[in-house]
Amino acid sequence: MRIWLCAALACTFLTTSACHRCEDGDKTCDGDLGGDDSLSTDEPWTPGSDDATGSDPPGQGNCSAHGNFDWSAPPAVAWDAEQGSTRITAQFVPRDPSCSPLLDEQFVTRAHVNGIEDPEHGGAATGETIPVDLHLVLVLDASYSMVVRNAWEQMLAAATTTLQHAATIWEQRPGTLSFDVVWFNSFVFHSQGQWAVSDLNSLPPPSQDANAFTKLYSAVVVAKSLSEAAHAAGTATGPQDHHQIIVFTDGDDNHSYFPNGSGNAGTTATGAAYVEVALDTGVDIATTTDAVSQHSANLTTHVIALSGQIQQHDALESIAAAGSGRYLAQPREDALGELFSEVVQEFVSLQTVVVTTPLGSGQHEFELRYQGLGAPAWSGPGYFSRCVRFEAGPGAALLADHCE
């Protein structure tokens, strides 16, 4: 058995990001972790400050006093006929007690197959990495209220910084980063072809006459369609690859019921190509949540809200929940950079473990254990675990998301 542990790179630019903590009246911090949740440490965690509010995605609100981790997608199981081995690819995000992702120097992991981790069975991590491709779709509010609130330029700056940071990280790790941009007001627009990160700053600014409404739901559905199209074209299609949608808005949807749009093409001030989407049907919140929950790739949808004027928090939170992502709300325009940074941390902290085992046909168990640094030894209480059952051999498949 061979194990690859592909740790995310440490990202110093994220150390000042706001952290959403599980607090009284919010989500429980005492979940059933499937392992030992009585972990004790020599030193307590020191979570960061928290100005933001919001909610955690399904499975990510159960952060005990010592953290937790969650699968980003069900582990993938595949048979390698040439090598005569079964390959298990698992991805997870380790979290501190505030439910915020950890950097790789803050935790350790162990992988077990049928309870065994020893040199004979290849239990040691090799340090070898595998490529992880990431495709981002930014969905940005271009309604006139963004100008009234002096938030337009701050949003563009935060979104640009997000892409720049992600691009810097992917330059240092195997895999590729790609992105699309969607923006909306009374209409929905999206990028065409390959954009440079700097092209974000050339988006046409909102005008009071033409952009009075907010077609948020339609924009999210368009973003999901772009992600699907990218996947169908061969972008980020591996079991370890990911698609992420990041939605930003400062208001409630009020116009997605009305299909419109010319289908005309245009260019930004920097020459980047885009199109005004010709929508052929109206959508509502149910249509939107159904769309983001159904995807052929590993898709996560996050929602960031400038919350001062928003009434429909439940609708925005439901989009993030349907997309297994986070909903973060903040009333201060000058904190947008912190919110974008926290969302970035969700995918740069993603860990990938690949296990290759020679086990023959039959049902087996794969367990991944996570332990925050400073915890007791593995042989005693002090780790959280996730366990799945799988079929090895030519009929390789994931059988169950638990080992009970």
Residue 338 and residue 209 share a domain: yes
Number of domains comprising the chain: 2
pLDDT greater than 90 at residue 339: no
The mean per-residue pLDDT over the stretch 222-240 comes to 93
- What local confidence, expressed as pLDDT, does residue 10 receive? 29
| Better pLDDT: 404 or 392 | 392
**Do residues 21 and 97 touch, judged by C-beta distance below 8 A?**
yes
Q: What's the rounded Cα separation, in Å, for the pair 208 and 185?
A: 10
Residue 202 and residue 174 share a domain: yes
Residue 242 and residue 280 share a domain: yes
**Do residues 343 and 330 touch, judged by C-beta distance below 8 A?**
no
Which one of 307, 324, 348 terminates a domain? 348
Residue 116 and residue 61 share a domain: yes
From the list 217, 349, 191, 209, the residue with the least C-alpha distance to 282 is: 217
Residue 342 and residue 195 share a domain: yes
Q: What's the rounded Cα separation, in Å, for the pair 345 and 318?
A: 21
- Residues contacting 14, CB < 8 A, separation 6+: 103, 341, 342, 344, 345, 348
- What local confidence, expressed as pLDDT, does residue 189 receive? 97
**pLDDT per residue as tens digits for the range 54-72:** 444 444 445 655 567 777 7
Residue 151 and residue 14 share a domain: no
CATH number at residue 232: 3.40.50.410
Residue 239 and residue 210 share a domain: yes
Three-class secondary structure of residue 378 per DSSP? coil
How many residues in the chain? 404
Tokens standing for 6? Answer: 């592909």
Domain around 280: 134-348
Residue 224 dihedral angles phi and psi, to the nearest 5°: -65, -40
Residue 340 and residue 362 share a domain: no
Residue 276 and residue 167 share a domain: yes
Identify the helix (H) or strand (E) that includes residue 145.
helix 145-148
Which one of 328, 348, 368 terminates a domain? 348
Identify the helix (H) or strand (E) that includes residue 352.
strand 351-357
**Do residues 305 and 315 touch, judged by C-beta distance below 8 A?**
no
- What local confidence, expressed as pLDDT, does residue 49 receive? 31
The torsion region of residue 401 among left (phi > 0), alpha (psi -120 to 50) and beta comes to: alpha
**pLDDT per residue as tens digits for the range 99-138:** 777 766 777 788 888 888 743 333 333 334 578 899 999 9
What is the DSSP-derived secondary structure letter of residue 232? H
Q: What's the rounded Cα separation, in Å, for the pair 181 and 268?
A: 12
| Better pLDDT: 389 or 332 | 389
**Do residues 189 and 276 touch, judged by C-beta distance below 8 A?**
yes
pLDDT greater than 70 at residue 42: no
**pLDDT per residue as tens digits for the range 262-275:** 999 999 999 999 99
Residue 143 and residue 124 share a domain: no
From the list 239, 243, 202, 241, the residue with the least C-alpha distance to 226 is: 243
Residue 385 and residue 269 share a domain: no
C-alpha radius of gyration, the chain, whole number: 22
Strands 327-330 and 53-55: antiparallel
pLDDT greater than 60 at residue 34: no
Residue 241 and residue 368 share a domain: no
Arithmetic mean of pLDDT over the chain: 76
Alpha helix (H) ranges present in 172-209? Answer: none
From the list 371, 397, 313, 390, the residue with the least C-alpha distance to 108 is: 371
